[in-house]
Amino acid sequence: MLQTERLRLEPWQEEDWQAFRPIATDPRVMHFITGGEPWPEEQTRRWVRWQTIVYWRFGFCMWKLRPRGEDRLIGFCGLQPLLVEGQADIEIGWWLAPDLWGKGLATEAARRALEDGFTRCGLHRIVAVAHRDHAASIQVMKKLGLRYDRDVVYRGTPSVFYLAEHNARPPG
């Protein structure tokens, strides 16, 4: 488990799909993901199951987010494998319950996940992909220090590709 000042980032359990379902079915959250279409129950279950596998295999995942001192699941933030235009990378991403947008929580969680990826996990490159019109996510990417790399088409959608690179060993 990772922590920030206001959040806990925890691995998923398969039964967490039920607590995650209100987020995965909220048209505001899904606007830039599916055009506002909610995920069906089975897709939500598969996604949570996938995160348990990613955690088991890599030691990181798109961690479920909970406010410190609360049990409410408010979204996710973390890392997972990604394939864009034939290139394998590790992606950082986040979704947050709409009642918590604009409070800096996505940036706070992503900053911790990025730090964990570079330090504990020893990653050298982490990328982020967002719909090109998703200004809030692009702003989080910029706040994290990710740099714009290129425009891509991701899952049939015009998107932007940002990245952060980290050299774990000092030069020389």
**pTM, whole model, 2 decimals?**
0.92
Q: What is the pLDDT of residues 18-68, one digit of tens each?
A: 999 999 999 999 999 999 999 999 999 999 999 999 999 999 999 999 999
> Residue 62 is part of a domain; what is its CATH number?
3.40.630.30
CB atoms within 10 A of CB 124: 13
The closest of 38, 40, 165 to 95, measured between CA atoms, is 38
Least confident of 17-31, 136-150, 154-168: 154-168
Give domain status of residue 95, yes or no.
yes
Give domain status of residue 171, yes or no.
no
| Domain assignment of residue 76, given as a range | 2-165
Give domain status of residue 172, yes or no.
no
- pLDDT score for 56: 96
Give domain status of residue 48, yes or no.
yes
Give domain status of residue 10, yes or no.
yes
Q: Which residues of 45-75 are buried (b: 16+ CB within 10 A; e: fewer)?
A: bebbeebeebbeeeebbbbbbbeeeeeebbb
State the average pLDDT for the chain. Answer: 94
Alpha carbons 89 and 153: distance in angstroms, whole number: 15
Give domain status of residue 9, yes or no.
yes
Give domain status of residue 90, yes or no.
yes
Give domain status of residue 140, yes or no.
yes
Work out the percent of the chain whose per-residue pLDDT is above 70.
97
Does the pLDDT of residue 85 top 50, yes or no? Answer: yes
- Number of structural domains found in the chain: 1
